[in-house]
Every structure is written in structure tokens, then in C-alpha cells.
Structure 1
Amino acid sequence: MMSVLGMSPSALAVNDFSGRDKLTAHSDEFRKRVVEVIDGVYAAIGYSASNVTLIKGDGGSIIVDTSANPVDAKAIMDAFGDRLNHPVKAIIYTHNHPDHTGGATVFAGNDEPEIYSHKLLMTAKPDTGRGRRDGGDAFGTLLPDEDFINAGTQLEYGRVTPHTREGFIPPTKTFDGDEEDLTIAGVPLKLIFTPGEADENISVWLPDRKVLIAGDVFLKTFPNIAPLRGLPTRPVEKWISSLNKLIALNPDFVVPGHMGTIQNAAEAKDALMASRDSIKFVYDRTMEGIAKGKTPDELVQEIKLPEKLAKHPYLQEFYGTVAWSVRGIYSQNAGWFDGNPTKIFPMTDKDRAEKLVAMIGGREKMLESAEAALEVEEFQWAAEQSDYLLALDPNDSLATEVKVRALRELGERQMNATARNYYLTVANSLKESQKRKAR
């Protein structure tokens, strides 16, 4: 029996809460600061869900991404202080996620800047997928403070000030190709089409300063190829191609869409190459497995990053994971069917539960088995057995209690923020539901 993200119970016992501790340490990435990337280029980090970059030009400024909402944007304006010279000549959206586009009205003010993006942003859907069930929320928006650590790529996702579209301004200038050369306020720059986490993502390149503002195609975490929250698997081959473009630039400085900046060429090259190599490794091994007729479950157990990549500081699984990526790539390329004919028309969860519970000797026996699994820290097995009981009786209070305990234990051992948040929000939701029923 395997448990969290392919870890066995014994492995969990050895590592205990090291995943949670790593995630806690990761919160340092989101401390509030304005970083001088190079003379005339500043990144505001930690004031909102995403980074905002200020480029000083002749007689004005350029803003790349605008934070999650007008409240955050105002705080960033204050943090920039006199570094920001008015008028703001241009605002550039790297992509359409609301945490990057929600504060444009504040930066624009009365300056009437041009708003730049790729043409695809005009038709891109805002990133609103959630995949919720039983109160699950990958961002932990409603978790109490004692349960919440961070959201993987940001300190908090709308927990204090919600992400809104109130501050969004539609683009006034778009491009439709692979790149666009511009000079704005005397600053030469290139907009490069780099799809990956977002289909419309662009990266901003300042060739004379060798500064790369990457958007969300590159972050300090294993890439979120197959989001837990209910979005399509991202275009893996395009993502690899995008990173190849960025590597070829040989940047000296990198400002990602979230978290801290990279301030030297060697680290930039190493981090960009590691991100590309990790995606390519998982993609290639999954495709090889599909060709050999292997199932997603088999491949999740088999495909692990090589040690050098697995230990890389830019590839820790705070946001995306190898296991989910394997499943996403499999489904993207081979569909839902894993080749086992038993699964062509499977039994319903309730029908299966009826037979399994009867096989083990009835509800009391399975409940006893689930509680025993908790005692020996087989939390995944405890949760699965509680699901069988709840499939038969959604109001089974003892089975719900087992599931709540199992999910909390699973969540507390997670390094991946979205998994942790989902486990704990469902556990809390089930507990609250129990309280309401008891009244």
C-alpha cells in the first residue's frame, strides 16, 4: 500500500513532518521587499500574490504585471515611492491570470498608458478553475491561520484582499507572433511568446540590460503542469520550447512571476535549464511508458526525477508535482482509459463499496480496520476505507471522523501547498458539516 505522493507509510514515519517544515521555510520567498534588479529595474515581491516590475524610462515608467487587485497595487505604488516616475507610459501583462492583471487602474491613474499583451490574452479565460469537492480549496482561502502556511507560489491567495477584475484594463496593443520588438520611453525591449502555465504567457526581455521578466513560465518550484484545482493539463511541449527560448537569451537577471529574483548569469542558466530538463524528463518517460502499455498508476510509481534534479532548489514540489504531471501528460496524450478492460465500464463507487464492505464482514469490521490504519499511520488507507463507508451512508458520523483525522494527517505531512490546502479544507468542511448535523 502506497501513501502520500507515492510515499510508503514507513517512509512517512521516517520523514515525519519534514515536508511541512520545508513548506514553512519556503514562505521566506514571499517576504515584502523591493529588489533593485539592476539600475532602473525594480521588482516588488510579497506585496501581492504576484510580482510587479518597474522599468524606469526617459520621461516615464513601464510596469510589467499589476498585482491581484487595486488595494495591493496601491501598496506597491507606495513601496516603489519616487523610483516610479510619472507618467506611466506602458503596462505589460505577461498573461491573463487575475493575480497579474487586477491592479492596472492604480498604476495607470490618469496617465493613459498603452496596455500591451499577446493577442491570445483577449480570448483567454481567467484562471478560475478549482476542482472543488467536499469544500476542498487548493489555495486554502478559508483555512484558519493556524492551518495555513502559503499557497506555493504566493503567500496567500485572496485570504486578506480578494483577487478581483476591478482593476483590469483591456489591452490596447497586442501582437500575434512569436515576438515583438519595441522601444518604450527610450527603453528597448522584446516581448517573447512563451506559453506554458498560461497559453498566452509572454516574457519581457531587456536586451541592453540582459534582464528577463519571465511571467509564470518559470518559477521557483516544480512546474504546475497538471493543476490539482481543476484545469486542463498545460501544453508540455510548448512549455519546453518556451524555456529553450529563454535559455538562449543568456540572461544575467531573471524576474519570475512569483517569488525572488535571480541576480547572476550562472544561477539563471542553471535554474532555467533545470526547469526545462525536469519537464522534458517527465514528459519523455511518460510517453515511453504509454508506448509500452503501462498504466498511469504504474508510471507514477516508476517516474522519479534524477537525483540532481530532485534536489535542485528550483524544483521542489511546492506547487506542481511529478506524480500529477505524469497523470496529466498521460491523460493529455492517451485519454482516460489505462488499457485495463475491467475499467471500461466500472462499477459505481456505491456498488463497489457495498460488495467490499460485505466482503470484510460489514460496516463495523471496516470501521475497525480504518481506525486501525490510523493507529499505524496508514492514513491513505484509512481515508479510502472511510470513503467506502461514506459511499453507503454519507451521514455516517464515525466514518466521517476517520476521514477527517486521515486527511488532517495527510495534509500536515505535505510539502506541496495545494495538496496541503486541499486536504485540510476538506477535513475542516467535513468537521463543520458534522457539527451542523449534530445541532
Structure 2
Amino acid sequence: MAQDALFERLWNGSAHMEEWTEAVSEGAVTRVAENIITVHTTYFCGSVTAIRTSDGLVLIDTAKPDTASQTLALVRTWDDNPIHTVIYTHGHIDHTSGIKLIDEEADAKGIPRPRIIAHRNVLGRMERYEASHGYNSLVQGQQFDKPGYVYPIGQRRPDEVYDESLALTIGGEPIELAHGRGETDDATFVWLPRHRVLASGDFVIWVFPNAGNPRKVQRYAPDWAVALRRMEQLKPAVLIPGHGPVVFGEARAAQMLRDGAEALEHLTRETLRLMNQGATLDRILHAVKVPARYLKPYLLPKYDDPEFLVRSLYHLYAGWFDGNPAHLKPASDADLAAEIARLAGGAHNLAERAATLAGQGETRLAAHLAEFAGAAAPGDAHIQALRAGVLQKCIDGETSLMGKAFYAVYQRDAERRSKG
């Protein structure tokens, strides 16, 4: 009953996802349907769904490294039969890393390891993570504000891949897989027609769609909307999001899918409208906004930011050049900063003006000036202290986790420099 009451408050916006994360932090199991459960440990770990069949268990995703043991233990309190098949909804580590423990369990029992099924592009993703391991570790550490983070690689590859759709019957249970592009190009959503249960993977995450991450590869907002519309047409009675609590009832499942699609369609439509008029990226970024009517309690920009999605949309359709000729073959940041500092009468003037603007709430403009000042005088402790203060104002005014985290990376740099 307590979980039901919390869900209602999450749905109407009177509770925040942090409260749900706290509620499930010791591990929680949601009974989805007869012979189907979903395991939760934290919002930041993908949901893991277990399906009981006569051939053994089918798992949809496997948890992240630090919650995999807890997740598997919870599954085992429900059913101790062998795991027959694992479905990766995509290749991110919070959905794939638990396979190591699952394999170790099978080896210890002397039974076959489960087969893994995923979209074909999961293979390419895992190869890319190994090729760019240093960069990916750096970026992931910045995104979650964890200096020194090392991205785990080496998860077992899929044994079986598919392209557009795949229909399975495992132990008498029909399971349908469908591919879509959204946060990733390797995403799968899973439909269990007998129960009218939809496992959406990260197409539904209880916050605004994560389609604009500033330091990740291209995301696909238009395709994300298409996938949500396809899921809506299935008319699920139960929706299992990739992150967050399970949604019961056809009306609410449809509303969540439809609202997400409409928000993405709006951003895509407005971005393309201006692009087709020849607008620069600068103009588009400051013109395209998400109307408040789309920002439902389960679509708040607490992780990604709609402005980041607009930039990603521009790059999806137009490439990297933003329409400013100075950016076609730009001067180095250091040279540009030095010249602007000379024009301003010195880097101190830039820094002081940045601090004034930040105090007036003009954090976007203040950040530009603070970074110019900092680049022009990287060893000046006073300028770096002012820069740190400006970036703190940017953090304070930012709603998205990503925005706060990326600002914090450079705020720490400025603080370090301010102390010599």
C-alpha cells in the first residue's frame, strides 16, 4: 500500500524520483503479472524483469555492476530455476553488466550459461566502448560527477542478434522483440502479448527523454517518438519502464507513451521548421522551447535538458557546422580569449564583469566571459576564483543532472587554480 501511495504522488508530481529511489534502495520486487516480476534497486540502475517459463527464466536486462548481486538475489527469492535467456534492451552497462554474475552462477552449478539476445548494433556498441575506453571513462565520470571513474567493459556479447523484429517462444511463452532508435541505435522493446505487458527499455525513463547528452554519440529524438507511437498502438495493460516504477493500467500506460512522443515530436517539428528557413544553430537554440504543457511529472528535465535535445536534432539533420562562419575554421580558445581580454582592458575586467552578470542572473553570458578570462589568465588565482563563482551560479540555476555535473567539472578546475 505504501508503494501504491508513493506511485500516485510520483504520478501527480507531489513526490520526486529521489523518494522512490530511497524506497527501493534495499531492493524491491513488483509483481507485474502471473509469472512476471520486475526488480528495482535504484533509479540509476535499469529495471530487471524476470519471466518464468517451462524452459527456465527469461531476464530482460541484468543491472549495473554495483547492483547486479542484489538484483540476482532478489530474483532468486522468487524462483531458483536456471536462467535460459537474457535479453539486452541495449548495450549500456546498467543493463548488461549483471551477466557476469549470472554466468558465474551457471558455471558454479555446472549448467549452460544463458543465451543472450539483442539487437545487432549492441555488438558495435561494445566494440566502440573498448576502442574509446579512456574517453568513455572520462565522460562518464564527468556526467555523474565522479572524478577518476573507470568505465567497465568486457560484458559478454550477444549470442543471437536481430535487425528489425524477432518473435520467440520460450517455454511456451510468446515474446516479441522490436528495434527502435532513441537514446541509442541498438534499442529493443519487448512485448509479452499473452499478458499485454510492455518492457520499454530506456524509451521510457520517468524523466524527459535522454536524447541530447552533450558528450555522447548521436541520439535520435525523431525515431524515439516513432518507437513510442508503436508501443502506444500495442495498447499495453502494464508498462515496465527502463528506469522507475511499473505503470499499471491501459489508460496511464498510453498517456505516458503518448506524452513522451508528443514532446519529442514538438521539438523535432520546431527545430526542422527553423532549419528549413535557414536558421543558424544559435537562433534555433534560443527559439525552440518545450511548452509547459509537455512537462508532466514523468517528463521533467531532471537528467537531460530539452535544449541539449535541440542541439542534437540539429546535428542529426545538419552535421557539425552551426552556421557561424567564425566557427568554420576557428581560432584557438586561448588566442580568442587573449584578444578579447586585450579589448576589454585586461582579463580582470572580463572576470569582474562576468561576476556582476552572474549576480544579476545572466549566467549564460557570464559563463562566456568567465571562461575567456580564465583562458587568458589561467594562473591568476583571483580570476579563477571569480570564474569558480560564476560556474557555481550556473550549477545553482541548472535543472538537469547532466548540466549540473558538467558545470561542476570546470568549477572544480577553477577552484583548484584559484588555490595555486
1-structure distance, mates of 2:58, 2:136: 33
In the TM superposition, residue 130 of structure 1 has moved relative to its aligned partner by 5.0
* Cα separation, partners in 2 of 1:379 and 1:175, compared to 1, 3 Å: closer
Matched letter for residue 268 of structure 1: A
Matched letter for residue 290 of structure 2: L
In the TM superposition, residue 417 of structure 1 has moved relative to its aligned partner by 0.6
Helix, strand or coil at the partner of 2:236: coil
Structure with more relative contact order (C-alpha pairs < 8 Å, separation 6 or more): 1
* Cα separation, partners in 2 of 1:198 and 1:345, compared to 1, 3 Å: closer
Which blocks of at least 5 consecutive residues in structure 2 are unaligned?
Answer: 1-12
Which protein is richer in helix relative to its size?
Answer: 2
2-structure distance, mates of 1:380, 1:305: 19
1-structure distance, mates of 2:138, 2:56: 44
* Cα separation, partners in 2 of 1:235 and 1:349, compared to 1, 3 Å: same
2-structure distance, mates of 1:301, 1:203: 34
In the TM superposition, residue 296 of structure 1 has moved relative to its aligned partner by 1.6
Helix, strand or coil at the partner of 1:137: helix
Pick one of 137, 140, 143 that aligns with 2:142.
137
2-structure distance, mates of 1:85, 1:141: 36
In the TM superposition, residue 227 of structure 1 has moved relative to its aligned partner by 0.9
Q: Is the 8 A contact 2:384 2:417 kept in 1?
A: no
How high is the TM-score relative to the length of structure 1? 0.82
**Which residue in the other structure is 1:355 paired with?**
339
In the TM superposition, residue 266 of structure 1 has moved relative to its aligned partner by 0.7
**Which residue in the other structure is 1:418 paired with?**
402
Q: Is 1:208 matched with 2:194?
A: yes
Helix, strand or coil at the partner of 1:399: helix
Pick one of 229, 236, 250 that aligns with 1:265.
250
Helix, strand or coil at the partner of 1:361: coil
In the TM superposition, residue 138 of structure 1 has moved relative to its aligned partner by 1.2
In the TM superposition, residue 433 of structure 1 has moved relative to its aligned partner by 4.5
Q: Is the 8 A contact 1:60 1:85 kept in 2?
A: no
In the TM superposition, residue 340 of structure 1 has moved relative to its aligned partner by 4.0
Give CA deviations for 1:30-74 in whole Å, capped at 9, x if unaligned: 2322111222211111256221111122252111111112x5222
**Which residue in the other structure is 2:84 paired with?**
89
How high is the TM-score relative to the length of structure 2? 0.85
Matched letter for residue 302 of structure 1: A
1-structure distance, mates of 2:120, 2:327: 42
Helix, strand or coil at the partner of 2:37: strand
**Which residue in the other structure is 1:119 paired with?**
120
**Which residue in the other structure is 2:271 paired with?**
286
1-structure distance, mates of 2:14, 2:286: 23
Counterparts of residues 361-400 of structure 1 (less than 5 Å): 361-400=345-384
Helix, strand or coil at the partner of 1:226: coil
Counterparts of residues 140-179 of structure 1 (less than 5 Å): 140-142=145-147, 164-165=152-153, 168-176=155-163, 178-179=164-165
Matched letter for residue 46 of structure 1: T
Q: Is 1:35 matched with 2:6?
A: no
Which blocks of at least 5 consecutive residues in structure 1 are unaligned?
Answer: 1-21, 144-157
2-structure distance, mates of 1:46, 1:303: 36
In the TM superposition, residue 405 of structure 1 has moved relative to its aligned partner by 1.3
* Cα separation, partners in 2 of 1:251 and 1:349, compared to 1, 3 Å: same
**Which residue in the other structure is 1:243 paired with?**
228
1-structure distance, mates of 2:254, 2:405: 32
Q: Which moved more, 1:312-321 or 1:40-49?
A: 40-49
Q: Which moved more, 1:424-433 or 1:321-330?
A: 424-433
Helix, strand or coil at the partner of 2:299: coil
In the TM superposition, residue 163 of structure 1 has moved relative to its aligned partner by 6.0
2-structure distance, mates of 1:430, 1:56: 54
* Cα separation, partners in 2 of 1:130 and 1:382, compared to 1, 3 Å: farther
Aligned length: 392
Identity of aligned residues (%): 24
Q: Is 1:180 matched with 2:166?
A: yes
RMSD: 2.7
In the TM superposition, residue 267 of structure 1 has moved relative to its aligned partner by 0.9
